[in-house]
Chains A and B, each alone.
Chain A
Amino acid sequence: MGKSIYIVGVIATIAIILLVLFTIKSMEDSRYSQINSELNQLYFQSQLDSVYSEFSDSNSQLYCSFLLENIDNTSSRVESIWQSLNSYKERLLISDYVSTKRNFLVTNILLLKRIEDAKKDCNYAVKPIVYFYPEDFTCSVECGVTENLLFQIAKDCNKTMIFPFPLGINDYRFTDIVATKYGVREPYALVINNKKFNYPQKKDDLLKELGCFVSTS
């Protein structure tokens, strides 16, 4: 048998794989662009917050009502974006994953800052859970379980918001600033009411810490 059959085989294999990759890329790109457009909107809102904070008194009625409304709008969308980004974590086909995640994290940091401001200036009763995780294979199970637990807590406990930040990843070094603020040096860590937890916690214990007494049984 000549070599031609192997050459045709190699070419056909490459062609099929490229076709598959192209199909997946087109499908993922269209979904991914939705995330990007949502992130753009969130970014615009955070800019708008800055405008309000620059041009009005920090504890004025106008500023507070605008800020609180904006936070409520933003926070629900941030959670869904985080979930979507998680599902794209290992997709090499998404070329701008890192830049999108950066945008998301910056938006998240700004949202956390706004919430801290709102708590201080407008008596906003929200309870942020700041969650630092290593974005690699070392935390596949603990992080997966924790993430799911946090989403459940966010549902069960009103006014609870989750702020996930990868830590120790070169592409997202700027999250160190948040970690430093909360005294966190290593992932995995949860921070609630300035209290650190370095291992997955029971749901009831977290709810207690948050002041939510919802029975999980």
Chain B
Amino acid sequence: MQCLSLNDRLILLGLFVFMILFLGFTFFIPIFVLVIFSAGLWLFVMLVYVLLLADGKIEGHARYSKKNPAVTIIVPVYNSMNTIKKCIDSISKLNYKGKIECIFVDDCSTDGTREYLSKIKWIKLCKLNKNSGCKAIPLNKGIKLAKTDFIVCLDSDTYPEPEILNKMMGYFDDDIKVGAVGSMILPDKNKTIIQKIQFFEYVMGLGLWASALSAIHSRTSMPGAMVVMRKEVIDKIGGGFDPGNLTEDMEIVMRLQRYGYKIKTCFEAVAYTDVPDTVKKMFIQRERWYRGRIYNLLKFKDLFFSSKNFDLGFFGLPFLFFLELLSVVLIARIVILLITDAAKFFVVETTVVSVSNSFGYFSMQLPVVSPFIVLAIVSYLFMAVYYFLALRAVKYRLKGLDFLVILINILLYPYFITFVYAESFVKEMIGVRSKWVRVST
């Protein structure tokens, strides 16, 4: 699996040292300055998004193809008995107007998946002799076998809606530079708090936001659970998916953009996927995403500040990467402050004063007219508008518990995700071995 070169790890070490120094520096500047700085960056990103929206640059609606070209759906499978029936069922219900070929590439399943698939006559089953331990090798095998101009990469735990291909294929019609079109991925189940957290995470990250990044050709990732690609482009960019990559979907997106191909997002085309149902599984999945992300950002570091693609080179990559690093520092700062204050409070509380005396401390800290609160309100207003637009795009109506989950997503989830990011960063920096782990049911 992926392993950074010594040079790249030294770059991460340099960034790590910079982050530690910056964290130390934050203790000597007023918290107010930090708040303005981070709120300013956040506002800037939101404003770029709003400007793109106002300019009509953000696409994402269904585009029906006039040509309806034939497509090959490639499904890599490994021990997928829990999900494969539903996946096949959803494929069979696709009412795409063009011809569909379906290749399942079995990566040496041992749970009966291979036997189950071999009984289905209308699919082509390709059996690998040795388990590859990744998704890229089965995908590449499927791509080689495909005879159509377009391939659809579909995960075995993902269930596309019947109209999905009709909605997506139109993006390829008029522009030969469109290399791939991503869909809107949503959790298949949306009942528990953990599923709902991921639902809103997906809606916010893969819907309008992804479309905005597509509009400025700055996609740094695209979920590979359901994506359509132009087959000839894959050869032109140096071949299929990278087997040694934890996030092979992100890698190919970056490669497509390096070669000047466009990535489009159709948020009206929805595929439902199994998502982790425990915090531990969520952690494992996101750790893979972030390790892959960090790895790929370094792999494509030549694109940073590249004038060939101004938006990607000067905004998509450096600015968003910087924001991620800044978030780690700021959240570390807040956590350190909270822990030290809580520890001191506990010591003072248990050794000196009674609870009733100490509670007043917190009420005394409430500011009169806090710039922090005003800036937070402005930022959260922008966020509320964004939530509104993103949910409207997927035609979702909020229900009772949703408000609580949105609050968790805004106020608590960033701490979790930043912790995973920081942990992934350190693991890549020190070169901890990685492997592709399946976390869905």
Contacts and interface: CB of A to CB of B under 8 A. Distances in A.
Interface of A: 1, 3, 5-6, 8-10, 12-14, 16-17, 20-21, 23-24, 27-28, 31, 83-84, 86-88, 90-93, 137, 140-142, 144-145, 147-149, 151-152, 199-203, 216
9 A-B pairs with the lowest CB-CB distances in the bound complex, closest first: A141-B344, A148-B360, A144-B361, A13-B44, A9-B48, A1-B216, A200-B352, A9-B47, A27-B369
B218 to A, nearest CB: 9
Nearest to B359: A148
A33 B357 CA distance: 31
5 contacts: A1-B217, A1-B310, A6-B315, A16-B47, A87-B364
B1 interface: no
A10 B44 contact: yes
Contacts of B36: 17, 21
Interface stretch (B24-32, B119-127, B411-419): B24-32
Given A13-B43, A144-B361, A148-B357, A84 B368 contact: yes
Nearest to A206: B353
B378 interface: yes
Interface residues of B, number: 46
A87 B40 contact: no
Contacts of B51: 5, 8-9, 12
Contacts of B323: none
B39 interface: yes
Contact of B371 (A91, A137, A141, A149): A91
B354 interface: yes
Contacts of B368: 28, 31, 84, 87-88
A175 B115 CA distance: 85
A92 B29 CA distance: 11
Nearest to B314: A6
B39 A24 contact: no
B43 A149 contact: no
Contacts of B364: 83, 86-87, 144, 147-148
Contacts of B341: 140-141
Contacts of B57: 1
Contacts of A148: 357-358, 360-361, 364
B7 interface: no
Contacts of B375: 17, 20
A137 B28 CA distance: 9
Interface in B361-408: 361, 364-369, 371, 374-375, 378
Nearest to A19: B378
B52 interface: yes
Contacts of B163: none
Given A31-B368, A87-B367, A140-B341, 9 more contacts: A28-B368, A31-B369, A141-B344, A142-B344, A144-B364, A145-B358, A148-B358, A203-B354, A203-B357
Contacts of B358: 145, 148
Contacts of A93: 371
B302 interface: no
B216 A145 contact: no
Contacts of A24: 369, 371, 374
Contacts of A9: 44, 47-48, 51
A20 B371 contact: yes
B18 interface: no
B348 interface: yes
Contact of A149 (B32, B40, B215, B353): B353
Contacts of A86: 364
B174 interface: no
B311 interface: yes
A93 B374 CA distance: 13
B47 to A, nearest CB: 5
B345 interface: yes
Given A5-B52, A20-B374, A216 B44 contact: no
Interface string B227-255: 00000000000000000000000000000
Interface in B1-57: 27, 30-33, 36, 39-40, 43-44, 47-48, 51-52, 55, 57
A16 B369 CA distance: 18
A210 to B, nearest CB: 16
Contacts of A5: 48, 51-52, 55, 216
Contact of A6 (B48, B352, B354): B48
A200 B371 contact: no
B48 A145 contact: no
A92 B30 contact: yes
Nearest to A147: B364
Contacts of A201: 352
Contacts of B349: 145
A17 B348 contact: no
Contacts of A12: 47, 51
Nearest to B346: A141
A13 B44 CA distance: 5
A85 to B, nearest CB: 11
B369 A200 contact: no
A152 B311 CA distance: 59
B311 to A, nearest CB: 5
Query: Among A23, A137, A148, A152, which residue has the most Cβ atoms of chain B within 10 A?
Result: A148
A216 B349 CA distance: 15
A162 to B, nearest CB: 14
Nearest to B44: A13
Contacts of B32: 90-92
A135 to B, nearest CB: 12
Query: Among B216, B348, B369, B374, which residue has the most Cβ atoms of chain A within 10 A?
Result: B369
A20 B357 contact: no
Interface string B333-350: 000000001001100110
A12 to B, nearest CB: 5
A200 B353 contact: yes
B309 to A, nearest CB: 10
A21 B37 CA distance: 13
